[in-house]
Amino acid sequence: MPRFSPSLIPALLAASLLAACSSTPKDPTAGWSPDKIYSEARDELNSGAYEKAVPLFEKLEGRAAGTPLAQQAQLEKAYAQYKDGDRIQAVATLDRFMKLHPASPAYDYALYLKGLVNFNDDLGLFAWISRQDLSERDQKAAKESFEAFRELVTRFPESRYTPDARQRMTYIVNALAQYEVHVARYYYERGAYVAAISRAQSAIADYQQVPATEEALVILVRSYDALGMTQLRDDAQRVLQVSYPDSRMLQGGLKDKDNPWWKFW
């Protein structure tokens, strides 16, 4: 083991400290004012460099702590994370904002953005109709989106974001209802009539006054008929005729993929 002279120890310690300092990444924002950081972060955001904007907004949160600018930084960081495809972090940022600032005048925007983050999940709502399966993750995101929008329209009916939130809520409800009918049709076409009845009943019970209800009733009528359950068949047919007196689905067949259910607004 090498032995060092006591007189060399201070010099060695100083050298090691200098080496450690030289390996520490330099913070380019060290001398920047909060306004300068915000300006640079906004430039990155507006240019689409979301991955560069996020750390700048994080710096700003710390430098401007306790000020409205720090709150703005949180919201804009969440937006940058959302645009960068990081849904989980965007939601976490928004939840933190709403917990820390329940009286913020931007609370309505935070709810709206949370709804948007979940509404624009990776697969997208329009993709659901082409799939045989809708994962629990997809349904959970849609339902969380709906809840955020519902809180927005309930608490802030005059918000500038409320009209769009209402339309998106309608879209989500129709999407979820139609998926139930899509699964019911899938079972019906394969002769699994009990399963088809169960899913059609779920669509009718869980989602009121949506376009998918008509087809759900048709599936009930046909499934009960196939099982020889004439009383239930007749009951479902009476509801269909009262609710949709001009329905042509019983004669024209169930909807197919070329008849896009989602064109309702």
pLDDT reported for residue 137: 56
Residue ranges of alpha helices (H) inside 47-161 are 50-63, 68-83, 87-100, 107-119, 136-155
Q: Find the range with the poorest average confidence among 36-50, 117-131, 189-203.
A: 117-131
**CB-count burial class (<10 Å; 0-12, 13-18, 19+) for 31:** exposed
Q: How confident is the model at residue 176 (pLDDT cuts 50, 70, 90)?
A: confident
> Alpha-carbon distance 50 to 230, whole Å?
60
Confidence of residue 252 (pLDDT cuts 50, 70, 90): low
Does the pLDDT of residue 261 top 50, yes or no? no
Query: How confident is the prediction for the chain on average, in pLDDT?
Result: 83
Q: How high is the pLDDT of residue 262?
A: 34
Is 215 a residue whose pLDDT tops 90? yes
Task: Give the separation between CA 119 and CA 262, rounded to whole angstroms.
Answer: 15
Q: Please, what is the Cα angle at 216 between 212 and 222, to 5 degrees?
A: 150
Domains and CATH numbers, the chain: 32-102 (1.25.40)
Provide the b/e sequence for 163-178 (b: ≥16 CB within 10 Å): eebeebbebbbbbbbb
Decide if pLDDT at 256 tops 60: no
pLDDT given for residue 152 in this prediction: 98
Residue in 184, 189, 170 with CA at minimum distance from that of residue 125: 170
Weakest mean pLDDT among 34-38, 170-174, 260-264: 260-264
The pLDDT value recorded for residue 140 is: 83
Say if residue 164's pLDDT is above 80: yes
Residue-level pLDDT at 163: 97
**Where does the pLDDT of residue 209 fall: very low under 50, low under 70, confident under 90, or very high at 90 and above?**
confident
Lowest mean pLDDT among 58-72, 128-142, 196-210: 128-142
The Cα–Cα gap between 152 and 115 comes to: 9
Residue 219 vs residues 180, 185, 195: alpha-carbon distances, Å: 11, 7, 11
pLDDT at 142: 87
Q: Other CB atoms closer than 10 Å to residue 86's CB: what's the count? A: 18
Taking only the tens place, the pLDDT of each residue in 104-128 is 999 999 999 999 999 854 444 455 4
As a whole number of angstroms, the distance between CA 223 and CA 183 comes to 14
